Amino acid sequence: MHASSSEAVSPRQASLGPVYAALLVQVLINTGTYLAGKRAMEELPPVTVVLWRFLLCAFVFCLLLLFTPGPKLPPRSAWRHVLMLGLLAGPINQMLFFYGLSQSTAAHAALLYALTPLGVYLVSLARGHELPSLRATLGILTALAGVVVLLLGRGLASARGSLVGDLLILAAVSAWVVYTTEGKPFAAAHGPVRSTAWSMIAAAVLLLPVTPFALAPGRTFSASLPALGSIAYLAVLTSVVAYLIWYWALSKVPASRVAVFSNLQPATTALAAWVLLGESLHWGLALGGGLVIAGVRLTQSAPLGPVTPRALEESGGEAPVLEASLVQGASRGSGQARR
């Protein structure tokens, strides 16, 4: 793990300009995710948007698997894990996210998803994979203070609907934290492209029972072109292209450098929502957002603690690799949600 990171920044390699350019594209794609979700739900229910997104995403990943060398189906021993990841990524995370987004704002959603690295860090502490540090603790407290400011910045009375939406999004973030921590060892074993394809296809399969009630093909195909384009954006650009760019970049440079780009997302989303959706830039958003981003960066910069006996026991003697994957998952999580 460490060897690959050092190789990624070796001066003997070609310029990293294309990598950083691709990461900027990824940030812009994820910025549009929240805006596309809001636009699609102006004409369609959240469950319909989620269902079409995963059906189209699964179709694209099926085509991708056909042209990817190696096994097309997960091994029999991994099916339960794949279904669990699909449940977390699809029905749980995305239903909570889209219903929350329908009652909140795109800027709030982007900021709350910036808490994902903190959640992954806390899970790794609970499992004994890391030891607590003062820097990480200060980061967590700073980010939590930012969430409080973000939720209450406009007052409980005027933000009641937004508060409910924000709480649903926080629940979605919790599901994404579990997906990240549980999915990292699986991705390390089977590769990020194949493991992501399997989990996204599983998510679509798990959503099939609601198809007769939520697919609404007549209503969907009678929607406007911007609404249909938003669904296509969510399915192809957010769920496939942005994810592949992210992991390609991580194969070229250390996760800490990639994570810096993810911290641009809340600011770019807030600005885009202000320009395109007319969302206000109130003081609570500015102060709370600044605290959240500062807390995330402070936690991400905390040094790894020594390997504990518990970590060695749980990881079968490979705790350093598992620790590194969890920390990288924390850095990646704030830029992948989608989702």
Structural domain includes residue 278: yes
Count other Cβ atoms within 10 Å, centred on residue 205: 16
Distance CA 133, CA 12 (A): 35
Can you read off the two tokens belonging to residue 105? 């704002």
List the structure tokens of 195. 């493991």
pLDDT in tens, 213-268: 889 999 999 999 999 999 999 999 988 888 778 667 656 665 444 544 665 666 67
- pLDDT tier at 312 (50, 70, 90 boundaries)? very low
Mean pLDDT along residues 264-290: 71
Burial per residue of 288-318, b for 16 or more beta-carbon CB atoms within 10 angstroms, e otherwise: bbbbbbbbbbbbbebeebebbeebbeebeee
172 occurs within a structural domain: yes
Q: Which one-letter DSSP state was computed for residue 339? A: -
Per the CB < 8 A criterion, the answer to whether 265 and 238 are in contact is no
Domain boundaries, position 173: 2-8+17-333
Q: Do 51 and 210 form a contact (C-beta atoms < 8 A)?
A: yes
In a domain, 339, yes or no: no
Percentage, residues of the chain above pLDDT 90: 22
Q: Which residues make Cβ contacts (< 8 Å) with residue 194, sequence separation at least 6?
A: 65, 68, 70, 71
322 in a structural domain: yes
Count CB neighbours of 202 within 10 A.
24
Q: Does 188 map to a domain?
A: yes
Structural domains counted in the chain: 1
Does residue 154 contact residue 282 with C-beta atoms inside 8 Å? Answer: yes
The pLDDT score that the predictor gives to residue 206 is: 93
Single-letter amino acid code for the residue at 249 = A
**Does a structural domain hold residue 121?**
yes
262, part of any domain? yes
Per-residue pLDDT of 148-178, as tens digits, reads 776 666 554 444 557 788 889 889 989 988 8
